[in-house]
Amino acid sequence: MASSIQFIPAEYSRTDQPESVAREMLRCASEDIDRLVDAGLPFDRREGVRHFDVNDLYTLGMYSNSTRTQPELAFRMLFRFAGRPVDDLLRDKAWEFRVQLECPECDEVAPWHFEAPDVVRFGGRLEGGAAPEPSAGSAAYAATVTTTGARTPLVSTELRRLTHEYLDAGYRWQMIPVAMQADYELVHGLGATSCIAASLLLAERFRTAGYKAEAKRGWFCGVLGGALDLPHACVEVEDDDGRLKTVDIAKAQLAARLSSDTGDFQELCLGSIYNKVIPSTASGNASFGHHACGSPLPAQVRADIRSAR
């Protein structure tokens, strides 16, 4: 399996997962890890223990075809909804949305900037959601977010053509760190793709074709207990009918890979909106949060999103 996967290049790789985690995620033995290392899986040895990048482990698990690695189980559970009737995805749905902002090694009171949920444009509602007060080290944001859905498929033949051209190009979906995804030319040059990188490239192609388009980040809900921290992005584009559409290109691609009975959901991803996504004000390659303390370390943003009912 390792031969068809592009591992995370050294400049974006963080080998902080010990071999015991790798064996558990991939449900395999030490000899199997030896074989992956021989096939090129990057690692660092610290205190005699091999350490790996979590993105590489996720991607290896996804493509292992063993049906029992943790990534395969997590993705199957996460995308179970995609094989069900899509009407459930078009109803109003309330989420308890909590975010913890952390600025590492920070002891200076300074303002926070948080790219908040931006659901009203798409028929949703927001209760609570006060901007975090200036503070040192950490801050919190909380809101009840109601999302909804609407069938608004792309009508422009050119936008549909560009979208299908991308889907048919055969890029391999991989787990890729957010910072590397911003370098979307590097990602696609490796034959790989992921949500943010795909949206940045597709938005650029839409703009080249004369459309107003922008990649935007958001949150993909229903990721139980943080088992899978899946960065979400989609393309917002103004269609020929004058309406703002969202193209969730990577979810269409992932659903197609995970199961063949997800055709209705894949079509929903091409222009329509659905209630498992909370859009944000952040552009495709921006961070969700920033602390104006002057620290060179980026602020960490952790979201906990649960169904409100």
Contact mark string toward Zn ion, 89..118, x via CB under 5 A: --------------x--x------------
Residue nearer to Zn ion on the CB measure, 144 or 295: 295
Q: Using the rule CB under 5 A, give the single segment among 35-43, 196-204, 231-239, 288-296 that binds Zn ion.
A: 288-296
Q: How far is the CB of 287 from Zn ion (least distance, A)?
A: 13
Does residue 295 interact with Zn ion by CB under 5 A? yes
Largest CA distance in the chain: 61
Place of tokens 């900037």: 113
In 3D space, the residue among 101, 93, 140, 141 whose CA is nearest the CA of residue 117 turns out to be 141
Binding segment toward Zn ion, per CB under 5 A, in 31-39, 65-73, 86-94, 283-291: 283-291
Binding residues among 40-59 for Zn ion as defined by CB under 5 A: none
Distance, in Å, from the CA atom of 300 to the CA atom of 296, rounded to the nearest integer, reads: 12
Tokens 């902002």 belong to residue = 101
In terms of CB distance, is 287 or 295 closer to Zn ion?
295
Tell me the H-state helices in 154-303.
157-168, 178-181, 184-189, 195-208, 249-258, 263-268
Q: Which of residues 103 and 237 has its CB atom nearest to Zn ion in the complex?
A: 103
- Tell me the closest approach of the beta carbon of residue 111 to Zn ion, in angstroms: 10
The nearer residue to Zn ion, 102 or 267, going by C-beta atoms, is 102
Burial class from Cβ neighbours inside 10 Å (0-12, 13-18, 19+) for residue 307 reads exposed
Nearer to Zn ion, 1 or 286 (CB): 286
CA–CA separation, 124 and 145 (whole Å): 7
Residues 185/198, Cβ–Cβ less than 8 Å? no
Which of positions 199-218 make contact with Zn ion (CB under 5 A)? none
Interface residues with Zn ion (CB under 5 A) are 103, 106, 291, 293, 295
